[in-house]
Amino acid sequence: MKKTETKIFSTLAIPDELAADLRTLGNLEMWTEDVPMPNEQLTIQLKDCQALLCSGSNRITAEMMSACPKLKVIANVSVGYDNIDVDAATKAGILVTNTPGVLDNATADMAFALLLAVARRLVEADQYVRSGQWQGFHPSLMLGHEITGKVLGIVGMGRIGEAMARRARGFGMEVIYTRRGGQEKDERLNEQYSARRVSLGELLKNSDFISLHCPLSPTTRHLIGRVEFSQMKKTAILINTSRGGVINEAELVSAIAEKSIAGAGLDVFEFEPEVNAQLLTFSNVVLAPHIASATNDTRLAMKRLAIKNLIAALDGGNPPNAINKKNESTVTIAVPATP
């Protein structure tokens, strides 16, 4: 295909230094507003595009793909890809890629920041001082949860889970974890983080802090619900920087209201950007607007990696981070990437 015939659309602003690479391949257009691009508009825009750069806030559906017959590659600027109907993409011969590895530290930083903020009542304390309620030092003012020596349960010991384990070890915590897959990595993980692989039930029962790092899939949707909350310690604090749908949010609200757990730190929500109104009323819940990987460096690295994937796909090869793989005549699902 001639360069002038290739059309690339990005739902995110691409800085000039990266856009230059894409412009060597074809015509690049992008959405530069600060709000997610509406799907109807995106579908119209994509009608004669070969390549799409998008983020988790764009829901790429089967209907959309069938309305965009020229689409060859969807490069998600995100490690999670639950926003894309990968089965439909595969059937339509469209490659899907993600951005693993470049956001592990930023995401784990946020997970740990939420853990500290809930445990040490940081947001509540800030509001207390700002509202002029503080009368002076008092030894029992705003007592929180100790972190050193406590057990952190990591659900999903992939790359981000490991980055979380590194931070936890630095804070003198004991690490237990669950992960999918065989036992081949367990010896290294156990040794490196003085950690132990356990069942989900054991993790829920023994953890003082639980941090979720698994992708959202049909198997992990509502992984944490009423039964799981009832297995946790009453003093447990739950942190979620993975995907909102991994937790049954209505059951989380009940668990907090009934004091069946001690608090939660949430960067992601089941029905983003809607947040359950009751969650807003709890002082022991700290909320963030899906910003775990939002640092300048990490966002740039994610865009760079997504563009590398997109270029490889347009060149006719298999991109380094393909979720589904291309062969002679078709596209098949590859082993899913572990975030």
Query: What is the rounded distance in angstroms from the CA atom of residue 72 to the CA atom of residue 89?
Result: 9
Q: In this structure, how many other beta carbons lie within 10 angstroms of the beta carbon of residue 260?
A: 17
Q: Which residue lies nearer to ligand DGY by CB, 78 or 248?
A: 78
Is 243 a known active-site residue? yes
Piece in contact with ligand DGY (CB under 6 A), picked from 32-40, 74-82, 86-94, 142-150:
74-82
Report which of 266, 314, 262, 245 is spatially closest to residue 5, judged by C-alpha positions: 314
> Which of 45, 78, 178, 318 touches ligand DGY by CB under 6 A?
78
Residue given tokens 């946020």 in the structure block: 110
Is 290 a known active-site residue? yes
Q: Does 337 bind ligand DGY (CB under 6 A)?
A: no
Sequence-ordered list of residues with C-beta below 8 angstroms from that of 34, at least 6 positions apart, any chain: none
Query: What is the rounded distance in angstroms from the CA atom of residue 322 to the CA atom of residue 132?
Result: 53
Q: Does 80 bind ligand DGY (CB under 6 A)?
A: yes
Piece in contact with ligand DGY (CB under 6 A), picked from 73-81, 162-170, 185-193, 218-226:
73-81
| Residues 278-317 close enough to bind ligand DGY by CB under 6 A | 293
Q: Which residue lies nearer to ligand DGY by CB, 50 or 78?
A: 78
Of 120, 124, 226, 272, the active-site residue reads 272
Cα 264 to Cα 117, 142, 280, 332: the distances in Å are 10, 17, 12, 39
- Amino acid of residue 324: N
Report which of 58, 89, 66, 242 is spatially closest to residue 158, judged by C-alpha positions: 242
Q: Per-residue string for binding with ligand DGY, 172-191, x by CB under 6 A? A: --------------------
Q: Does 56 bind ligand DGY (CB under 6 A)?
A: yes
Residue 130: both structure tokens together? 């700002």
Report which of 118, 203, 222 is spatially closest to residue 157, judged by C-alpha positions: 203
Of 243, 251, 270, 304, the active-site residue reads 243
Q: Does 79 bind ligand DGY (CB under 6 A)?
A: yes
The catalytic residues are: 243, 272, 290
Interface ranges with ligand DGY (CB under 6 A): 55-56, 78-80, 103, 293
